[in-house]
Amino acid sequence: MSKPPKQPLSFQDLILTLQHYWAEQGCVILQPHDLEVGAGTLHPATTLRSLGPKPWNAAYVQPSRRPADGRYGENPNRLQHYYQFQVLLKPSPDNLQELYLNSLRAIGIDMDLHDVRFVEDDWENPTVGAWGLGWEVWCDGMEVSQFTYFQQVGGLEVNPVSGELTYGLERLATYVQGVDSIYDLAFNNDGVTYADVFQENERQFSHFNFTHADTEMFTRWFADAERQCGILLEQNLPLPAYDFVLKASHAFNILDARGVVSATERASYIKRVRDLAKGCAQSWVALEEAG
């Protein structure tokens, strides 16, 4: 176990420490998936790799986009673009809670002084037909991670079960650094703040998400992605097919943020994405079990 650092970790050191910690636990350290996604779970290294019989341990940072959460860079706690640190361990090891708690120690959280709690939270992602049981992990009342034992992904029962850890990096960092606003985070130890890196990004993308995103174009893109995904599934190519699930999902998120999706349409969009995701899951599992 690493020794607790003396001064709080910068945002980038937090990431580097987690990567190092999980590398030591035998995870492959991946890079972000190169598409817009709503959460780290949607990286194919989690969604697809959690399916099928083969063991798999991976960790990575995933930039995540939730267009509707944009606040023009003015809210200290809400962003439309943020980072998640994702760990997937398949099968889930017996000491997963201990491994997780040690990762918190590694980033400098003193467990004698801070109150870490596992609070029931059953995770569900209807757009990819996935659910699991687990907790929100609270540190002094702050939700710092989501801890889930996957039970179903892409509408399929998983066997073996994966343990998934998702760290909300900005929140965790505000906690570790003791600042009230994400924008005040030290990005590195040389005076660069989170605001320097991302505040303008938040402002511009909020305008884009809420006002200037071309809804006709995104509607078309959704349909195009759906069609391409179907063609790829017919060819038994779940990996590229899954990329188009992600593109469709993001197009839907933009349309949703623009406020042009009614309640009934919303359910239908989500179902269309889920059907595609299920197709990918089935195709992937068939290939995994065959090989």
Partner 1 sequence: MAEFLLEIFCEEIPARMQGKAARDLGNGLQKSLKDAGFEFGEIQTFAGPRRLTLVITDLPEKSPDVSEERKGPRVGAPEQALAGFMRGAGISSMDKCEQREDKKGKFWVAKIEKPGRAAEQVLAETTPQIMADFPWPKSMKWGSGSFRWVRPLHGIVCLLDGKVVPFEVAGIASGNQTMGHRQMGPGPFLVSSFADYREHLEGEGHVVLDAGDRKARISEQIKQICQQHKLSLVEDPALLDEVAGLAEWPVVLLGQMDEAFLDLPPEVITLSMAKHQKYFSVNNAKTGKLAPHFLVVANLAAPDGGTAIAQGNARVLTARLADARYFWDTDRTQTLRSRVNALHDVVFHQKLGSVYDKAMRVAALAKELAPKMGADPELAERAAWLAKADLTTQMVVEFTSLQGVIGRYYALADGEDMAVADAIRDHYKPQGPTDAVPTDPVSIAVALADKLDTLVGFWAIDEKPTGSKDPYALRRAALGVIRILLENKVRLPIPAELSSFVFDRLKVHLREQGFSHDLIDAVISQAGADLVAIVARVEALSTFLATADGEQLLAGTKRAANIVKVEQKKQSETIVGEVDVKLLIEPEEKALFAALETASQTAAKAITAEDYTAAMAALAPLRGPIDAFFDEVMVNDKQENLRVNRLKLLSGIRSALTPVADFDRIAG
Provide φ and ψ at 2, rounded to 5°.
Answer: -70, 150
111 belongs to the binding site for partner 1 (CB under 8 A) = yes
6 belongs to the binding site for partner 1 (CB under 8 A) = no
Can you tell me which of 6, 190, 211, 262 binds partner 1, judged by CB under 8 A? 262
Residue among 82, 71, 77, 76 at smallest CA distance from 203? 71
Can you tell me which of 32, 63, 93, 240 binds partner 1, judged by CB under 8 A? 93
Paired tokens of 245: 């699930």
In whole angstroms, give the CA distance from residue 186 to residue 148: 29
CB of 236 to partner 1, least distance (A): 27
Contact assessment for residue 185 and residue 194, using Cβ atoms and an 8 Å cutoff: yes
Helix (H, G, I), strand (E, B) or coil at 245: helix
Can you tell me which of 19, 63, 78, 287 binds partner 1, judged by CB under 8 A? 78
112 belongs to the binding site for partner 1 (CB under 8 A) = yes
75 belongs to the binding site for partner 1 (CB under 8 A) = yes
Can you tell me which of 85, 123, 175, 284 binds partner 1, judged by CB under 8 A? 175
152 belongs to the binding site for partner 1 (CB under 8 A) = no
102 belongs to the binding site for partner 1 (CB under 8 A) = no
180 belongs to the binding site for partner 1 (CB under 8 A) = yes
DSSP labels, 105-121: HHTT--TTTS-EEEEE-
149 belongs to the binding site for partner 1 (CB under 8 A) = yes
Write down the H helix ranges in 133-237: 169-177, 194-207, 215-234
139 belongs to the binding site for partner 1 (CB under 8 A) = yes
User: 155 vs 160, which CB is nearer to partner 1?
Assistant: 160
CA dihedral for 149, 158, 166, 107, sign (positive or negative):
positive
Pairing of strands 130-139, 56-65: unpaired
Q: Which one of the spans 13-21, 114-122, 226-234, 240-248 is the region binding partner 1 (CB under 8 A)?
A: 114-122
In whole angstroms, give the CA distance from residue 139 to residue 69: 23
Footprint on this chain of partner 1 (rule: CB under 8 A):
71, 75-78, 91-94, 96-97, 101, 111-120, 122, 132-135, 139-142, 149, 151, 159-161, 163, 174-175, 178, 180, 262-263
